[in-house]
Amino acid sequence: MLMTSNQLGRTKQEQTDYFGLKIPFLDHLGVVPEFAEGGKSRISVHLRPEYENSFQVAHGGLIMTLLDFAMAAAARSSMNHASGAITVDMTISFLRPSVGKIVVEGSTLKAGKTINYCEAVVLNEAGEVTAKSSGTFILRR
């Protein structure tokens, strides 16, 4: 059975503002939008047990989601673009396990008229890079 936002205990007014967008999936994950400006972005999330893999560290799918959004937010911020960004491609390298508070920093490497090239890193509480990504994004018209 499909549940409405009211059945989940949230209303559209209570949804988090992700740099001008409402993204229910990020709300579900508890993602905190910190900033997105000048081609840079920063988001964070506290790892919860339901987002861990069988090794009790962040599931790769969670990390991929965070990297994808951080890069898209950076791309949008480089052009002050109100609409979303569409991922064309994305490459990820997992360097070490992510646990605790996870911080993701995105940046735009090159902003074009239609295509934006971005990168992002995941940092653990010690400031170590746990994963990194590069991606290509089209800004939605």
Q: What is the pLDDT of residue 13?
A: 57
Structure confidence by residue, pLDDT tens digits, 66-97:
999 999 999 999 887 778 889 999 999 999 99
* 116 pLDDT above the threshold of 70: yes
Q: What is the pLDDT of residue 6?
A: 45
- Computed over every residue of the chain, the mean pLDDT equals 90
| Superfamily of structural domain 16-139 | Hotdog Thioesterase (3.10.129.10)
Q: What is the pLDDT of residue 11?
A: 54
CB 85 within 8 A of CB 75: yes
Please state, in angstroms and as integers, the Cα–Cα distance from residue 115 to each residue in 45, 72, 110, following that order.
28, 11, 8
The domain limits of the chain are 16-139
CB 74 within 8 A of CB 103: no
Model pTM?
A: 0.89
